């Protein structure tokens, strides 16, 4: 892999990229499932369902069901998750060191998780001082990844040209959104998707550790 030069902005996905939130997401999913007398799921099952927003996660977890049941499940999930955002969620090894290494560059968080939760998690894990922008899903303002709309907004607000930015994430949605926005892309294999799945969308970089970023940017 060749180095990507002249990068001024690093945009990070949250879940599976900066933090491992699967334990808390699994507990929250299972709280909702238990309330509705559905069988619980394990962390590996939930991991495969994460990436397209919380409502989609609940829909996948509960399966084909009536809209009314889905709304109840979503409500139960949020009831539990809102109180347990960082009960078991932790940032991945070396994340603070990597962010500090890039202290001379602008950094942003962009997640498909609801905006309020995204901001709160980054703050509670004391990573917020590293970022000039922390942004989660706000469907009334812009479409979720893989749409490039959110990235376009970040670039415009921070006055960064597409060729000066890179999207870093663990899902195909992250890479597809980055490509659609015309920015560089970096997939991480330590998150929730396999190398084979990530390679299929042809990211510019594919790294196994967040510290690898220091070699390629």
Q: Which residues are catalytic?
A: 13
Dist CA 140 CA 205 (whole Å): 32
**Radius of gyration for the chain, computed over Cα atoms and rounded to the nearest angstrom:** 17
Q: What is the DSSP string of 93-148?
A: TTHHHHHHHTTTSEEEEEEEEEHHHHHHHHHHTT-GGG-SEEEEE-TTTSPPTTSS
Residues 6+ apart with CB under 8 A from 119: 128, 134, 136
Q: Are 199 and 207 in contact (CB under 8 A)?
A: no
Q: Are 58 and 70 in contact (CB under 8 A)?
A: yes
Torsion angle of the four alpha carbons 70, 73, 75, 79, in this order, in degrees rounded to the nearest 10: -170
Residues 6+ apart with CB under 8 A from 90: 19, 20, 125
Dist CA 108 CA 9 (whole Å): 7
Q: Are 109 and 14 in contact (CB under 8 A)?
A: yes
């Amino acid at each position: 892999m060749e180095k990507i030069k002249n990068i001024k902005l690093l945009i990070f996905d949250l879940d599976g990229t900066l933090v491992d939130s699967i334990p808390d997401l699994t507990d929250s999913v299972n709280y909702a499932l238990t309330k509705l007398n559905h069988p619980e799921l394990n962390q590996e099952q939930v991991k495969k369902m994460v990436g397209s927003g919380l409502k989609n996660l609940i829909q996948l977890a509960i399966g084909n069901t009536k809209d009314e049941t889905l709304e109840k499940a979503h409500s139960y999930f949020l009831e539990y998750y809102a109180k347990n955002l960082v009960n078991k969620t932790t940032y991945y090894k070396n994340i603070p060191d990597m962010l500090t290494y890039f202290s001379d560059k602008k950094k942003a968080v962009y997640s498909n998780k609801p905006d309020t939760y995204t901001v709160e998690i980054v703050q509670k894990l004391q990573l917020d001082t590293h970022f000039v922008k922390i942004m989660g899903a706000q469907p009334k303002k812009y479409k979720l990844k893989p749409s490039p709309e959110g990235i376009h907004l970040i670039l415009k607000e921070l006055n960064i040209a597409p060729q000066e930015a890179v999207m870093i994430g663990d899902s195909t949605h992250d890479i597809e959104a980055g490509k659609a926005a015309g920015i560089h892309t970096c997939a991480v294999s330590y998150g929730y998707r396999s190398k084979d799945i990530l390679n299929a969308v042809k990211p510019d970089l594919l790294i196994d550790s967040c510290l690898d970023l220091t070699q390629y940017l």
